[in-house]
């Protein structure tokens, strides 16, 4: 039976990503949903991006945008996002690529192609969350990559269970209507990368420990 595998907030940690991929062992019919924040903080942003792109040769892949990719794409035209990029791990990303210009020269098409969400019959995958009471197609794109407490501290009222990242917890946050899988990878040295595996109505977690 095909599985859905969600991975979020890798933050340049190539080794942890490879451990999770080895443990989940994606197969041809599986779908990997990468949920944003591939870059910044860790030392190997370029390698992480290339690795997840290459996973298209293994299984179905969906690529979502995270807050750090959003800041990157707006850094040259908006002072606020320029500040966010450089002050929240962008230095390490530039070091990984060799220069800021190289980031978009090498992987610009990939970054510009990222989606804001992925919807299935039972799940909504998104980087940060949504604002309750607003139809999905009318959600604000900044909310979808940056929202925090206003989303996860209240019921969503959304028909699908929401799988998200962006806000780190010591272990996956599991609520009736939502699950957060950001466990601090890249932000804290000893924090794992966590994936969620959805198969036959079961929800299991796999981490890089």
How far are the Cα atoms of 117, 167, 183, 203 from residue 11, in angstroms, in the given order? 19, 13, 12, 24
How does pLDDT run across 133-145, given as a tens digit for each residue?
999 999 999 999 9
pLDDT at 1 exceeding the cut of 90: no
* Domains in the chain, CATH or no CATH each: 4-207 (3.60.21.10)
- For the entire predicted model, the pTM comes to 0.97
**pLDDT (0 to 100) of residue 160:** 96
How does pLDDT run across 88-102, given as a tens digit for each residue?
999 999 999 999 999
Instruction: Supply φ then ψ for residue 69, to 5 degrees.
Output: -70, -35
**145 vs 128: CA distance, rounded Å:** 5
**27 vs 200: CA distance, rounded Å:** 16
For 178-186, what is the mean pLDDT? 97
**111 vs 58: CA distance, rounded Å:** 20
């Amino acid at each position: 039976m095909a599985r859905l595998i969600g991975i979020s907030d890798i933050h340049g940690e190539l080794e942890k990503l490879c451990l999770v991929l080895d443990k989940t062992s994606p197969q041809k019919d599986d779908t990997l949903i990468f949920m944003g924040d591939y870059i910044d903080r860790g030392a190997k942003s370029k390698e992480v991006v290339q690795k997840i792109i290459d996973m298209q040769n293994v299984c179905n892949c969906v690529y979502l945008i995270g807050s750090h990719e959003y800041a990157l794409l707006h850094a040259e035209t908006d002072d606020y996002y320029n500040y966010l990029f450089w002050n929240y791990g962008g230095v390490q990303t530039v070091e990984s690529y060799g220069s800021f210009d190289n980031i978009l020269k090498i992987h610009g098409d990939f970054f510009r192609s990222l989606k804001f969400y992925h919807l299935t019959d039972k799940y909504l995958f998104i980087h940060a969350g949504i604002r309750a009471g607003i139809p999905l197609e009318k959600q604000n794109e900044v909310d979808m990559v940056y929202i925090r407490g206003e989303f996860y501290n209240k019921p969503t009222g959304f028909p699908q269970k929401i799988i998200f990242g962006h806000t780190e917890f010591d272990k996956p946050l599991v609520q009736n209507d939502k699950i957060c899988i950001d466990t601090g990878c890249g932000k804290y040295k000893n924090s794992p990368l966590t994936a969620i595996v959805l198969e036959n109505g079961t929800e299991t977690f796999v981490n890089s420990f």
